[in-house]
Amino acid sequence: MPPKKEASAEHNKKLEDHKKRLENLEQRVGKNERAIKAMEKSLQLINGQLTDLKRQGCKSCIVLTGKDIPKRMQNENPTSIFIQQVRSKYGVRIKEDEIAVVHRTAAGGLIAKFNKFDEGSGYHRLVIRRGKGSMNPNPSIHVYANVMLTKFDAKIRFYAAIAKKHGEVLFYEQLLSGRIGIVVPDPKAKDKTIKIAINDFEDIKPYLTAPALEEIEKKNKERKKRRTKAKSQLSSKQVDELLRSDTEDQEGAEGMDES
């Protein structure tokens, strides 16, 4: 009998040691999980700050796209072309000293960096367009002006346009902060609306229904095909790499002012 008691005591001690090791392992796993979550939160914060920094540079630029923009020519004056196209399409007069520089994009559009943004400036009148038909006046002229967007905001604007098409979003626009804002029905008050500034994907996710997500996936596939074809021709064109990197991501939103 005594040997059996000793064996039982030894067995219980092993079980106790095993239990302690498991508890220690669980504590370490829990600590690591909390550390990973903290890192993810920190990374999201850093990404948000980087996007906001990019917005500060992007929102000073306006991109003109559309099939009616004159073809690229040798010794052309991009600034004059930009000013003329804006005046024809939107009836907005822009002075040359309001623009720092204008470049061609890879797709043949124009991108202008402004240095004057006060109320009454050409930039302000072109960006802040209100009233029925003001987003796309002279629809027979296929030229479209949009404030340059970061990659993140370009995607959000694209999502908002699809959500509007499916009736989930009433209106969308780029805010002066550079973010995309949407107007949606107020779920707490009938016949009222609320305006939401989109800070991350979770803000617009509730308005992307299954049909909207299907259309987004379809259009993304079509855009990738167009982009692959366009990039194969870039080697023969002199393009400002910094400006092109963000402009290309905006191609999917081209012509959305038509809505």
CA angle in degrees (0–180, nearest 5) for 223-62-102:
105
Q: What is residue 45's predicted lDDT score, i.e. its pLDDT? A: 84
Confidence at residue 13, expressed as pLDDT on a 0 to 100 scale: 78
Cα angle 203, 209, 215; round to 5: 110
Q: One digit per residue, pLDDT tens: the chain, 259 residues? A: 455 666 677 777 788 888 888 888 888 888 898 899 888 888 888 888 888 888 888 889 999 999 999 999 999 999 999 999 999 999 999 999 999 999 999 889 999 999 999 888 999 999 888 767 677 898 999 999 988 889 899 899 999 999 999 999 999 988 888 889 999 999 888 889 999 999 989 999 999 999 999 999 999 888 888 777 765 655 444 333 333 333 434 433 444 444 3
Could you read off the pLDDT of 21-62 as tens digits, one per residue? Answer: 888 888 888 889 889 988 888 888 888 888 888 888 888 999
Q: What is residue 196's three-state secondary structure?
A: strand
Residue 71 in contact with residue 77, Cβ under 8 Å?
no
Tell me how far CA of residue 209 lies from CA of 42, 167, 168, 197, in angstroms: 30, 10, 8, 19
φ, ψ dihedrals at 180, nearest 5°: -95, 135
Among candidate residues 36, 85, 49, the one with its CA nearest the CA of residue 65: 85
What's the token pair of residue 8?
């039982």
Distance CA 139, CA 259 (A): 11
According to the model, what pLDDT value does residue 163 have? 95
